[in-house]
Structures are given as C-alpha cells and as structure tokens.
Amino acid sequence: MSLKHKIVNIAVIAHVDAGKSTLVDAFLHQSGTFRDNEVVKDCVMDSNDLEAERGITIYSKNCSINYKDYKINIVDTPGHSDFSSEVERVIKTVDTVILLVDASEGPMPQTRFVLQKSLEAGLRPILFINKIDKQDQRAEEVVNEVFDLFVDLNATDEQCEFPIIYGIAKQGIAKLEMDDESTDLSPLFETVINHVEAYPDFDSESLQLQVSALAYDDYVGRLGIGRVYKGTVKNGETVSICKADGSVARGKISKLTAYEGLNQVEKSEAYSGDIVVIAGIPDISIGETICNTDNPLPMEMIHIEEPTLSMNFLVNDSPFCGKSGKFVTTRHLKDRLDKELEVNVGLKVESMDTTDGYRVSGRGELHLSILLENMRREGFEIGVSKPEVLMHRENGKLMEPMERVIVNCPEVFSGTVINKLNLRKALMESMSIEGDYVKIEFIAPTRGLLGYRSEFINDTRGEGTLVRSFERFEDHKGSIPGRTNGVLVAQGPGTTMAYSLAALSERASMFVEPATNVYEGMIIGMNSRKDDMVVNPCKNKKLTNVRSSGTDDAVKLQAARIFTLEEALEFIEDDELVEITPDAIRLRKRFLNENERLRYNKSRQASK
C-alpha cells in the first residue's frame, strides 16, 4: 500500500467542557503542525469569536496530522445537543471516535447522546479518561460507568471491548495505565493506528463522495465538505450529483482542497478515504453523493434530526430602531437567514402571514441564541418572540419533546429543585448523594424547562449545575405554569432617574440603571406581584428652596439585573418581545401603547 493511502479519520466526541478542543490542540502541537516559533492560541479549533468567548465548539471542524506513514484526519465535534445535527453527519465520515470522559464527572447526558450516534453507525470507540490530575479523580469508577453506558446503549460485544487511555489533554499526556511514565500522546497515536485499519484502497472503483458538511466562501460560494468513499476526484472534472429526491444533476468542480494541519491546501486529485472540500456546485446539499458522470451510484442519505423549538424573528419596530444597527429591514433579515441556511442544516425558516418577520426553528435555545448573537454582532436589529416548543401528532396523539436533565446541587437546595421541577411536569428517575451534593436525574418536557435555568441558579445560590439533552417524544403532558410575576412597564419616553427607581425598587426588582433611555412599553423591572404595572421611571424629585434634614441623602440602589440573550429569551411571556441590537438587549411589550395592550389582552381572554 502506498504512503498516500494510509488514511485514518477520527472524531473526538464528548460532553461539553470535557476537553475535546484541548486534546485536538495537543494533537496538532505534537505532530509538528506548528513551527517552533509560531504563536498559537488555546483551543485553536474554536475559530469563531463566539466559540472562543464561550469556550464551546459550535461548528464541527477538520484538521489533519501526520504520524509515521499515516495521515490522520481529525474532526472536532460540538458537545451541546443543540448542535447534534453537526455530530450526526460527522460520525458518517470517520473510522473511529475517541470518546473523552472527565475523570471526576463521569459520563453526562451529552456523552450518552454522542456515543449513541457512534454505536449506531457501527464504530468501535476508543475511551480517553481525561483530567486524571484532578484531586477528585475516580478514573476506575468512571471506566465502569462508561462500560455500563455501552451496555445500556446496546453496544455489540466487539464495541464493548474498547481500548482505554488515561491522560491529561491540557499537558498533552496519554497513558495506557494510570501509573505509566508517559510524557506525550504517543500511546494514543499508537492505539488509534492499532485499533483501526487504514481506509482500504478503493481508488480504482467508481467515484462516491458524500457531502457531510457545508461551508461558505464569499469568493467561490457554497462549499461541500465530505469523504471520498470510493474512487478518486480531480480538480476541474465534470461530475454527477445524486440528489435527495433521486434525480441526478451535472456539475463541475472548480476547486478541490484537502486538510493539511489546520490549512486547506489545493489539490489536483484526492484519493479514497480522504476528507476534501469542493467548490463550484452552488446548490450542493448535505447527504448528496458526487459520482462519475457515466456511473452515478447514490449513497444512503444522511438523516438530520428535526427542530424542536421555534421563535419569530421580527423587524424591530421600537422607537429606538436604527440607532445602533445598520440592518433593520425585512429584506436584510431575509438575506441573512438565507445565508445561514447555506451552512446551518439544523435550521428551518418559514415566512409569516401577517407581520414583517420569519418563523425560525432550530434544535434548542442555544442553537437559536448563537445565531441571534452572531447577527447582533454583524449589525442587525431584531425583535424576537418567546421560544415555542414544536409538537407533532402520532396516531392522532399530540407528542412533545422530552429532555434528560441531570441536576447537581447542594443537598439543602434539593427539595426546592425537586418541587419546582415536579410543577413543571418532570419525572424523577434517580437520585444519589455524593458528599454534600446530590445528583438527580429527571425526564422533563422541553416546555417545562423554558425559563427555568435562571430560577434554578437563584434557588441553588449559584452552586448548582443543570445539564439537559433531548431524549425522545412522549404524549403531551398538559398545561405547565409559566412566570408567576408581572412586570413594570415604562409609561412614556425619557431617561430613568435614581429617585424614581429607588421608590419602585421597594416593590420590584429593576432591570435598568439610572440614566437609561426608555420608551413607552419597555419593560424595566419585575413586579413582586402577579400583575403588570405601568410606571414612570423618569420622574425626578421636585426641588424647593426649603432644606430639611435628611432630604438630600444619597439614593442607594440595588444593582439592576442585566440579562444575557439566553436569559432574556427565557424570561419573556407570549405578549412580550426581546429587542436585540448591537449595543443593547431590551425587554418590551409586543404592543407598546397601553390602550392597544388592553385591547389585545381582552381579545385573548375572549378567545379562551
């Protein structure tokens, strides 16, 4: 077998924060990808600004390293279940997966999700127990937990005989046994090439290249990324494209690149087993197969999970419209969403009948809020409605998405958490005590979890963690109580005054600081009671020429609650919107005028 054919493709899969991107960094450093004097940032694969800030992977990415006479293509995958459409496609292009599990946390809900996809695809994973340098590491126990998880997920006997590596990704160390003296990742590289055979030589067969991911380039348009399963593909050749509906189209590859290190290098030809990027076919889509013109052989299409959550993206019609953003029209909104659809296959966009806006559906709150945050940074202004869970009917029954929720919190708060989740129709599956902390597993409707995270943080004084991932669809669980408190709504336009806010904060928690510009219908705080209250936050103290003791004391205010984008989306109710602009996130009523709101509420009551 010639040198060029020794290709192994691997994906690194894990729960969020287990150290996937850190391990890929170590791969790249130890394979000589970077020059000795090159300055390289941490998590070099998290190239998107948002990924770097939040420390999460959103889009799966490719790179390659050379080890001995092997070319190892590595795919770094997202851990959040909201980006599961990325994980599913990646699994199809690889020969094995490295399952990363934290040595103290053990398997988490997303670990279960990504492992299940790998086992279903028939892959034989390699287990990497990471962070064995932690004080509370329990590596041996975690290996047993992972084995139980394999059995739970109906792994075959062959899949259950997985190799185990112990290591510290941050230091680039892998060991076959806990007490080995290894100082680099060689044991992991060796395990990969011993555990998986190099991709067979199918160069002489008819071409089959399946597209598993999309990218976009402003100069050459849409790019298809995929694996050459059989045959060879040449730059500039005319090919057949086998479409999802069974039809076959013609196209010409205008540019062919493959990964070397982190870079895409232009190639004249690529061989079976390699992962390549092709340009020149403008309507290429996920799952389509590129074949020779004389012998089109379509591969089985890639199934992508349906969206579970939708929001309305509306043109911003607030009085502050256009003050900080440059893209504010329906046309701008449509162009941007169309561009997102080029690469974001987990997304659906539908026109709305009445208003200036679009109904956008995705895999979860994080999936959609990442899109909104990117748009905001690009200069868009948008009004967004309350997230709505997507249901469907099966055999005449209404079905809704359910999620597995794992809560870790101090034992003293567990009663409150269980009580709150019970009200939200969650079903407790297991509970275990670890020191002062309790670990509880629930199956809960996605509907019931909307808006719960901020309440959970308050209930556990910030000491609890809550992890959730999509589990399955079940029968509709009936009505679930929403937010119990009303809000304070600004009476008219103006600038907030400390004097008014101090008086209002005695019966409400405030969302705005003094000297904030507000408009009629803007939400400025949360009422301590269940009703909404229209208030004037711009009223200042009347000045007189008589001084009395105590009147000139400084006004002491509690710090206002400032919302992140996700928190704002979780907080609002059906008659409210989040106004998202490059410089602010504001909460507002859908109808800004008080009389219009009264009419709207009356019509809602009548329709009930």
Binding annotation for GTP: 17-22, 130-133
- Is the separation of the CB atoms in 444 and 473 below 8 Å? no
Residue 254 CB partners (closer than 8 Å, separation 6+): 220, 236, 279, 280
- Residue written as token pair 């297991």: 430
Q: Which residues of 582-608 are buried (b: 16+ CB within 10 A; e: fewer)?
A: beebbbbbbbbebeebeeeeeeeeeee
Alpha carbons within 13 angstroms on the beta-carbon side of residue 311 total 28
Q: Give the DSSP H or E segment for 596.
A: helix 594-607
What residue type is 489 in one-letter code? V
Radius of gyration of the chain (CA): 27
Binding positions: 17-22, 130-133
DSSP letter for each residue of 135-167: TT--HHHHHHHHHHHHHHTT--HHHHS--EEEE
Query: What are the CA-CA distances from residue 235 to residues 215, 243, 252, 445, 585 (Å)?
Result: 18, 21, 9, 49, 47
The token pair at 16 is: 């969020």
Q: How far apart are CA 92 and CA 117, in angstroms?
A: 10
Is residue 57 within 8 Å of 72, Cβ to Cβ? no
Q: In 435-540, which ranges are E strands? A: 437-445, 465-475, 487-490, 494-495, 508-510, 517-518, 522-527, 533-535
- DSSP summary character for residue 89: H
Element (H, E) at 483: none
